[in-house]
Amino acid sequence: MINKPKKTISKKKLTTLTTVLLVCFIFGGGLNSNLLPVIASGSGDFPPPSSGVWTISQETIINSEVIYINDSVSIESGGTLVLENCVIEMNGNEDDKANFIVKNNGNLTIINSKIEAFSDYSWYIEAEEGASLKITDSTLINFKGSKYTSVITLYNNYSVITNNTISNFNYKAIFARFTSHYNNITKNKISGGFVGFEVVDGWYNEINDNEFHSLSQFAISVNNGSFSNILRNKIFNVSSIAINFQRSMNVLCNTNNISTSKTAIEC
């Protein structure tokens, strides 16, 4: 974690602030919470170490912090990491060194936060089999490094990735693979990479109401992804195939809006 210089408050500013608070109490009947800044806080295994792996082995809840990640964040079995209203600067000194690994029985929840490449190297999130992952209302900005690693790789079931913006990635935005089932991939905006969403050997996934654009290969690729729904997605400006199917059955795919792509659907 990179330490920023601390700011001090002058006596004049402190006096002014005290006066404002007194006015609030006298004329407003107390403090209005909307007038106060959000207070940054963290618990459990927070803060991260300045170097080396940041291990999360207990419930760790972080709110409204700016955090610099130089290495791997390992959420161990029984550990929970909740990031809400945070800015996460991925500061690895080589491609994929900065990452989140969610292990079996570990839990990572990201809410209304921003994760971006602070250095000129890519980063990733990986949920192993048995892990729990939820990412909502967040912005994920990667760096197009030299490695072919997906921004989010799912080996687990029941992940929720909804209402996020994912951009500027080298390979795949979301990759569900090897028996990753029942994932909810909805209402995301995904752009600026190779593949938007791909599932290989994963069934019963919901890929609905997303927007995919400016991709060089596929917006959605389903390879043995049977019994999944692909509904109401908006897809445009895909250089190759908007939706690609292989070895899949009983996939409900309709009401998708596809334009300015070389091929709409290929089976």
Q: Quick one: pLDDT at residue 262?
A: 77
What total of structural domains would you count in the chain? 1
- Out of 24-28, 111-115, 162-166, 175-179, which region has the weakest mean confidence (pLDDT)? 24-28
Q: Give the model confidence (pLDDT) of 197-229 as tens digits.
A: 999 998 999 999 999 999 999 999 999 888 999
DSSP structure class, residue 181: -
Pairing status of strand 189-200 against strand 184-186: unpaired
Whether 20 is in a domain gets the answer: no
Q: Measured between alpha carbons, how far is 90 from 190 in angstroms, rounded to an integer?
A: 19
Whether 28 is in a domain gets the answer: no
Q: Measured between alpha carbons, how far is 159 from 181 in angstroms, rounded to an integer?
A: 9
**E-only strand ranges, 103-225:** 107-111, 114-117, 124-127, 132-136, 139-141, 152-154, 160-162, 165-167, 172-177, 184-186, 189-200, 206-208, 211-223
- Grade residue 266 by pLDDT with cuts at 50, 70 and 90: low
Whether 178 is in a domain gets the answer: yes
More confident call, 175 vs 149: 175
Whether 168 is in a domain gets the answer: yes
Q: Measured between alpha carbons, how far is 165 from 44 in angstroms, rounded to an integer?
A: 28
Which CATH number fits the domain that encloses residue 121?
A: 2.160.20.10
Q: Give the model confidence (pLDDT) of 99-133 as tens digits.
A: 999 999 999 999 999 999 999 999 999 999 999 99
Tell me the mean pLDDT in the region 175-197: 95
Whether 222 is in a domain gets the answer: yes
The amino acid that residue 167 corresponds to is: S
* 27-31, 79-83, 263-267: range with highest mean pLDDT: 79-83
Other Cβ atoms closer than 10 A to 200: 17
Whether 43 is in a domain gets the answer: no
Residue 15: φ, ψ to 5°: -65, -45
Average pLDDT, the chain: 86
Tell me the mean pLDDT in the region 251-260: 92
Whether 189 is in a domain gets the answer: yes
Residues 6+ apart with CB under 8 A from 177: 153, 154, 155, 198, 199, 200, 201, 202
Q: Measured between alpha carbons, how far is 122 from 171 in angstroms, rounded to an integer?
A: 10
Structural domain span for residue 185: 53-266
**For residues 61 and 86, is the Cβ–Cβ distance under 8 A?**
no
Whether 31 is in a domain gets the answer: no
The answer, yes or no, to whether residue 157 has pLDDT greater than 80, is yes
Q: Give the model confidence (pLDDT) of 36-51 as tens digits.
A: 345 667 889 999 998 8
Q: Measured between alpha carbons, how far is 123 from 150 in angstroms, rounded to an integer?
A: 9
Q: Quick one: pLDDT at residue 50?
A: 85
Q: Quick one: pLDDT at residue 40?
A: 65
Q: Quick one: pLDDT at residue 31?
A: 38
> Which of 95, 106, 202 is CA-nearest to residue 151?
95
